[in-house]
Structure 1
Amino acid sequence: MSSKIACPHCGQDWLAAHRIKSTGEMFHTCPECESLWLAQQDLRQETENYLSEFLESTGITWGDTEKLAT
């Protein structure tokens, strides 16, 4: 049984886990539509967060994150 979760927003790709290197904060993104789920959000529910807005609001860049093995 696969533990992959299809993006509930676009359905076009699997969600990927990431971590902010400096804080350890984890989040998930859809590589296709860039929807973003914070650690406390249900990955099977829609989200109103987007990667570009999250990076801008936190003052970090994509290089400040790392993809986690799933």
Structure 2
Amino acid sequence: MIRCPRCDQGWVIRARVPEESETFLLCHECDTVWVAGEPHEGPPFLVLEEYPARFGLDGLWSNIELLERAPGR
């Protein structure tokens, strides 16, 4: 597990939208989402509010499934 390169405060964890097979990476602190590739500081990236909208869902933590847990959580 790595620290978020954007905020340097959160951990990057793997998640997915339930019922979907595609996984993505998510910072549990700043809500940055990386759909492809490794986390990086600059674009391209999304914010959590944008990603679930691709599947017709609101961008809420309750609409994603965490596949890992950040340390201390």
TM tier, shorter chain? 0.7 to 0.9
TM-score, normalised to structure 1, is 0.73
CA RMSD of aligned residues (A): 1.9
- State yes or no: 1:21 paired with 2:18: yes
Shift in alpha-carbon separation, 1:69–1:24, aligned structure 2, 3 A: same
Residue 65 of structure 2 aligns with an amino acid whose one-letter code is E
Distance of 1:69 and 1:42 partners within structure 2: 16
Q: What's the TM-score, normalizing by structure 2? A: 0.71
Shift of 1:69: 3.0
Which portions of structure 1, spanning 4 or more consecutive aligned residues, are displaced by more than 3 angstroms?
Answer: 61-64
Gaps of 5+ in 1: none
* 1:41 is the counterpart of 2:37: yes
Identity %: 31
Partner of 2:3: 6
Q: Name structure 2 gaps, 5 residues minimum.
A: none
